[in-house]
A and B are shown apart, each in its own frame.
Chain A
Amino acid sequence: MAELSNYILVGALLFGLGVIGFLTRRNLIVVFLCTELMFQGVVVNLVAFARYWGNLQGQAFALFLLVIAAVEAGLALALVVVLYRRRGTLDSEAWNSMRG
């Protein structure tokens, strides 16, 4: 059985890769895929802590996190479809007039 810090390291690296992708990619769909990647890192952390504390709260939290991920994916993809209809492109730079 691997030690807790191994799982935390994997979770942190998955989260970091998701952050890099979220900041760099310009395709709106890939940007949202990167948020799902960050969710995966968080799931690994939650389940690892639940295992090492010997209770189920982390697993229950991860289960509700799946619900939030599904909600986020549905709404985000609906918004992506609307944005694609308006501009005809998935490029996030097409909307850079929205920056403050």
Chain B
Amino acid sequence: MNWSTTTIAIYGLTALGAVAVYLLLPRAGRSARVAGTLLGLAALAGLVVLSLRSFAIPGSEDFYFYLLAVLALTSAAGVITQRKAVYSALYFVLTVVAVAGLVVLLEAEFLAAALIIIYGGAILVTYLFVIMLAQQEGQPLYDRRVRGGWWACVAGFLLTATVASALSDFLLLAPVVAPPMTVEVANTDRLGLVVMTRYMVVLQAAGILLLLALVGAVAIVRKRYPHLETVERPLPAIGQAGREAAPF
């Protein structure tokens, strides 16, 4: 492996970002949120400059790409550093919106709409419901202290920097440029055709999986545990079993 300038820059900027995330994580003692924010913004700006210098191709959509990428990364940092779970969930909505924008730039419009509807709509509402359901008084301790922040930041830095530098080494040799899109058929039509023909079995399996998860979730959160009950219930008369079953 040759240590090109780009590799060293990627390692340095990722390390800077990891330090920023470490400073931003909720910890005991004095918080260093201002320093963490400044360091994180510096790391992001460095990454943008590096990307412009090493990878960029002059084009019209690049501005939106950098805008959406910076938005996605800052809101993702917000998800993991906020002290309140509700704020984490709301920052995650922002991440989903930014990622959907990136997906639109990649000309996958149906998937962008699906991301917004399924993630921003359905999944996040479920999360918010559970957050409201399990609300605790004030700010509990487990939201104000992280566990092993230093080692986790080192692990995340190593993972990200290794993947990014390996890929950049590989891609700098032969820059991969997107082929121009020449199809007249809409993305939704083409994707629907592929899913309904080539991936038909997978689609059916996905439906069965969703049904199983639905039944499983209801079975998990049922409040009564019949095998744990100590009170003997009288056996129902013959032919009457299940007639007066109470709802869950």
Contacts and interface: CB of A to CB of B under 8 A. Distances in A.
B191 A56 contact: yes
B220 A10 contact: no
B213 A17 contact: no
B106 interface: yes
Contacts of A29: 85, 89, 127, 130-131, 134
B156 A50 contact: no
A74 B214 contact: yes
Contacts of A64: 199, 202, 206
Interface in B26-75: 47, 51, 55-57, 59, 61-62, 65, 69, 72-73
Contacts of A89: 136, 140, 142
A78 B212 CA distance: 13
B147 A26 contact: yes
Given A50-B108, A56-B194, A63-B191, A40 B99 contact: yes
A20 B21 contact: yes
B156 A17 contact: yes
B148 to A, nearest CB: 6
Contacts of B187: 59
Given A37-B79, A37-B95, A40-B95, A74 B85 contact: no
A73 B119 CA distance: 10
Given A26-B146, A36-B123, A14 B76 contact: yes
B123 A19 contact: no
Interface string B107-122: 1101100110011001
Nearest to B106: A51
A14 B80 CA distance: 11
Contact of A6 (B55, B88, B110): B55
Interface size class of A (residues with CB under 8 A): 35 or more
A7 B76 contact: no
B115 A66 contact: yes
Given A60-B194, A66-B118, A54 B220 contact: no
Contacts of A1: 57, 59, 61-62, 105, 177-178
Contacts of A6: 51, 55-56, 65, 69
Contacts of B210: 67, 70-71
Contacts of A74: 126, 213-214, 217
Contacts of B156: 16-17, 19-20, 23
B16 interface: no
B12 to A, nearest CB: 14
Nearest to B96: A40
13 contacts: A1-B178, A8-B167, A9-B47, A17-B76, A29-B131, A37-B80, A40-B76, A40-B95, A40-B99, A47-B111, A54-B178, A73-B123, A92-B142
What 8 A-B pairs have minimum CB-CB distances, sorted nearest first? A21-B80, A16-B160, A23-B152, A91-B142, A20-B156, A26-B142, A78-B217, A4-B176
Given A21-B79, A30-B80, 16 more contacts: A5-B55, A5-B175, A8-B164, A9-B167, A16-B14, A17-B80, A20-B21, A25-B146, A33-B127, A34-B80, A54-B179, A56-B191, A64-B199, A66-B114, A66-B115, A68-B209
